[in-house]
Chain A
């Protein structure tokens, strides 16, 4: 059974850093496209970043230069390093698996809440 479990969220002051983890089971993270998607309170879904199976990465303009996506194949875990956090980064962060090498998501984690506030 495919499972994605996010962790690492919490309350952080503006300007701070946080690393989110997404532990995967039932499949190999490195074999799939994987994305982070966030949802601010009461708002819609916003794609944050993708890492392709070959290692290429892309970021939304809103996080480019501040966030970094990576994976640890030995731990079968996806990460999102978030630096220079701002109040508008406050959101539930989901990791999501892409189906095969396609654009849509077939599995989602339960999400982890990041609150950026002083």
Chain B
């Protein structure tokens, strides 16, 4: 099963750009697993931010973007706002064994 590793925390000032990495343990590159991203505000259920590596659901601001290269994925947030302070999780799915989440990254807006 894939193991997804995220940094425990990142921070940035309002208006800045931050990135959150998500590194998979699998060695294969290219086609393979897709990575999805969720935002979780305190006391609430997670909300889908990015699906299939780089796609934004309707209603998600274009300040949020995702990318994937090989076994590493990234979530970028530009024009950081105070309301972006939350926990962010990457997630993947393996049809042979199920779902896996990264450990989560706490974003602090300074």
- Identify whether the interface residues of B are mostly helix, strand, loop, or mixed: strand
Interchain nearest-CB distance for B14 vs A (Å): 26
> Chain B, 26-69, contact with A by CB distance < 8 Å: what is the 0/1 string?
00000001101010100001111001100001000000000000
Across-interface contacts of B74 in A (CB, < 8 A)? none
| Interface membership of A27, Cβ < 8 A | no
| Interface membership of B21, Cβ < 8 A | no
A106 adjacent to B48 (CB under 8 Å): yes
Comparing A8-16, A17-25, A81-89, A108-116, the segment that makes contact with chain B is A108-116
A45 in contact with B92 given A50-B99, A104-B48, A111-B45 (CB within 8 Å): no
In chain A between 92 and 118, which residues have their CB closer than 8 angstroms to a CB of chain B? 94, 99, 102-106, 108-111
User: How many residues belonging to B are interface residues under a CB distance threshold of 8 Å?
Assistant: 25
Interface centre among A35, A45, A104, A111 (most CB of B within 10 A): A104
| Interface membership of A60, Cβ < 8 A | yes
Nearest to B6 among chain A residues (CB) is A44
Interchain nearest-CB distance for B49 vs A (Å): 10
- Identify whether the interface residues of A are mostly helix, strand, loop, or mixed: strand
Q: Which 10 A-B pairs have the closest CB atoms?
A: A103-B93, A44-B104, A104-B36, A108-B45, A47-B99, A58-B98, A45-B101, A104-B51, A44-B103, A50-B98
- Residues of B at the A interface (CB closer than 8 Å) are 33-34, 36, 38, 40, 45-48, 51-52, 57, 87, 89, 91-93, 97-104
- Residues of A at the B interface (CB closer than 8 Å) are 35, 37, 44-47, 49-50, 58-60, 94, 99, 102-106, 108-111
